[in-house]
Structure 1
Amino acid sequence: MRYLDSETLMAFVAVADTGSFTAAAEQLGKSQAAISIAVGRLEERLELRLFDRGHRRVTPTPAGERLLGYARRIRAIEDEALAMLLEGRRESRVRLGMPDDYLTLFGTALMQRFAPRHPMVNLDLQYDFSHRLETMVESRELDIAIITQSSAHPRGEVIRLERQVWCAAPNRRPETASCLQLALFPDGCRARPQVLAALDAQERRWRIVYSSSDLAGIQLAVASGDILTVLPEAAVPPGWRRLGPEHGLPELPLLRLAVVTTPQAKLAVRQLVAFLRSEFQKEEDGEDAVSAPALQAAAR
């Protein structure tokens, strides 16, 4: 008899998200052997191969991609049932971290749509760089973090591809300078090396004249002079000039925004992950929409 059980699906989803049996085991707090056995038994039960086991990364087969959507929905329905049964019994605190330039993108959805649906979940929000947030999740100082995924060591589930935008204050023309004056986040920001590499590839001269660990400091510097910066598209202030190749500036790669959580995350954390996934992995018409398979491909 073929059937799907929640624990096995949890292992299957973790492998698909992390691209590794070892990383999935770490995420779930289990041994690698236990995860491999669970997925192997699922493949045997379904008589289907769900993963291509490459040398560097494990990737879902077409059958695995199809199952992944159903597996997420089954897990979400299970969490919805538990939330209904446990509703009103106790409040739950979720410690969420993200870089502060992502607040504009995620904050409205969290406050206007997540909070009313989950009134017993209290969000405790902290800001920091992505590499520090990953460490804080590992040490259980945070329950969940939204990060810029590292291309060298990708972690978490990619939920959105975000454009990086060159921008300047209104009525300023910093892009015309022979040596570009830049305001950027300091070393540790995962977008910074991409920006500088793109300029070097174009053989543009540049100089970092201001560095700040918070978005407000970057915005203040740019508003005060002929200074360029690069921000996630959602964080560009209204009225600022958005620049690109037509202004002589290089194209920049997309940012892969991912969610990382603690092993065996509690119900409220799983609810938050499911909400973020549903809000930011929607398949819609329009150039800004990114499908779930495309997100998975970008993470590989």
Structure 2
Amino acid sequence: MPVISKVNRTLFDLDLLRAVVVVADCGSFTTAAARLHSTQSTISQKVRRLEDMVGHRLLVRGNRDVLPTDAGQTLLGYARHMLALNDQMLEALAGARVGVTVRLGVPEDFVGGSTTTALAAFARQHAQVKLEVTSGLCRDLSQAYDNGELDLVLLKQRRNARDSVARWPERLQWVDSAHAPAFGLEPVPLVTFPPRGLYRDDMINALEAMGRAWRISFTSSSLSGLQAAVADGMGISLLPPRAATAMHRVLGAREGLPEVDSYEIVLVHRPTADVMVKALAEVLGDLLHSAAH
């Protein structure tokens, strides 16, 4: 019986595998090129070379981003493993630990408290993971994720605005100052996020439906700025309960204000995300599930 030689079997170039993995993670050749400090044409050539080697199309352009084919999904699993082994070998030879970086984006009102406690526990459990946490407005976090700058994002959005791996309803409440109420003023002063910010249109529509005149008295991109403005009597606002303090008074049906229940909290990561990204998503998912119940 003839013996099949293994000498001439194809050896995969880790540089090519890394190019495909990064493009799949970013969902974009342009963003992948920037992350790899290369050019888009170079990254495209590497992907084509790998496709020629395996004899399959690995990536296709979708409506909004680049997606792996079935063959691409299969290759990505092995590629990640091979790249991880390569890093482990370097770690062993260098005597240093090579970690995985997970870039997380969260809204400002989720910074601190139980969220930070959960992140700290995750970091202790996975010492090889480097967490990079960015907080800000949801529209900025969403854009950063779409640009490939974040691996996992926690977002507040109108229901079903974008696909997610998990979602929960977002409770909101009207708040006024506890010591210098502003709701009785005419026109009603409103404390809001900037134009296109969350809840702004809902506040305006609710007051107009009540026949109340209104004016924007204070605008800020900072949640802490809004909290302070309401507490000091600058106006009323619409915020999640976790953002209310002892300096605030909750308003509602007694004042004729409607319940606003058109928002949700979502977790978003790419289908091809690293296993540590998915592990962190599970931790945050458990936290949000507990808070919702």
* TM-score computed with the length of structure 1 as normaliser: 0.61
Structure 2 residue 169 is matched with structure 1 residue 161: yes
- CA shift, 1:214, in A, is 0.8
Report the identity percentage. 27
Partner of 2:231: 223
Pick closer, same or farther for the CA change 1:237–1:117 going to 2, 3 Å. farther
CA distance in 2, matches of 1:250, 1:122: 43
Quote the Cα distance in structure 1 between the aligned partners of 2:68 and 2:202. 35
State the alpha-carbon separation in 1 of the partners of residues 66 and 269 from structure 2: 10
Aligned to 1:136: 144
Cα 1:210/1:200, change in 2 over 3 Å: same
1:194 aligns with 2:202: yes
Contact 1:163 1:254 (C-alpha < 8 Å) held by counterparts: no
| Structure 1 equivalent of residue 254 of structure 2 | 246
Shift of residue 248, structure 1, vs aligned partner: 2.8
Residue 271 of structure 2 corresponds to residue 259 of structure 1: no
Q: Which runs of 5+ in 2 are unaligned?
A: 1-59, 74-83, 89-95
Equivalent position SS for 1:174: coil
Amino acid paired to 1:29: L
Matched, 1:29 2:76: no
Q: Call closer, same or farther: CA 1:122–1:162 in 2, change over 3 Å.
A: same
CA distance in 2 between partners of 1:136 and 1:209 (Å) = 30
Residue by residue over 1:40-96, the C-alpha shift from the partner in whole angstroms, topping out at 9 and shown as x without a partner, is: xxxxxxxxxxxxxxxxxxxxxxxxxxxxxxxxxxxxxxxxxx9xxx8x953222111
**How do 1:33-44 and structure 2 match up within 5 A?**
34=70
Q: Distance in 1 between matches of 2:161 and 2:264?
A: 12
Deviations 1:204-245 (A, max 9, x none): 221111100011221232232241112111111234211111
Residue 111 of structure 2: SS of its match in structure 1? helix
Is it true that 1:275 corresponds to 2:269 in the alignment? no
Give the match's secondary structure for 1:122. Answer: strand
Kept in 2: contact 1:28–1:264 (CA 8 A): no
Specify the structure having the higher radius of gyration (Cα): 2
Closer/same/farther in 2, CA of residues 273 and 217 from structure 1, 3 Å limit: same
Give the 3 Å change call, closer, same or farther, for CA 195–113 of structure 1 in structure 2: farther
Which structure ranks higher in relative contact order (CA pairs < 8 Å, sequence separation ≥ 6)?
1
Whichever residue aligns with residue 219 of structure 1, its letter is Q
Closer/same/farther in 2, CA of residues 255 and 229 from structure 1, 3 Å limit = same
RMSD: 3.4
Partner deviation per Cα, 1:115-143 (whole Å, 9 max, x = no partner): 33333322212123223322211221111
* Aligned partner (choices 98, 102, 113) of residue 90 of structure 1: 98
Matches within 5 A, 1:94-173: 94-104=102-112, 107-151=115-159, 153-173=161-181
SS in 1 for 2:183: helix
Q: Classify the secondary structure of the residue corresponding to 1:90.
A: coil
For this pair of structures, how many residues does the alignment match? 215
Match of 1:71 in 2: none
Aligned to 2:212: 204
Which consecutive unaligned segments of at least 5 residues does structure 1 have?
Answer: 1-21, 39-81, 290-300
SS in 1 for 2:276: helix
Asked if structure 1 preserves the Cα contact closer than 8 Å seen for 2:106 and 2:153, the reply is yes
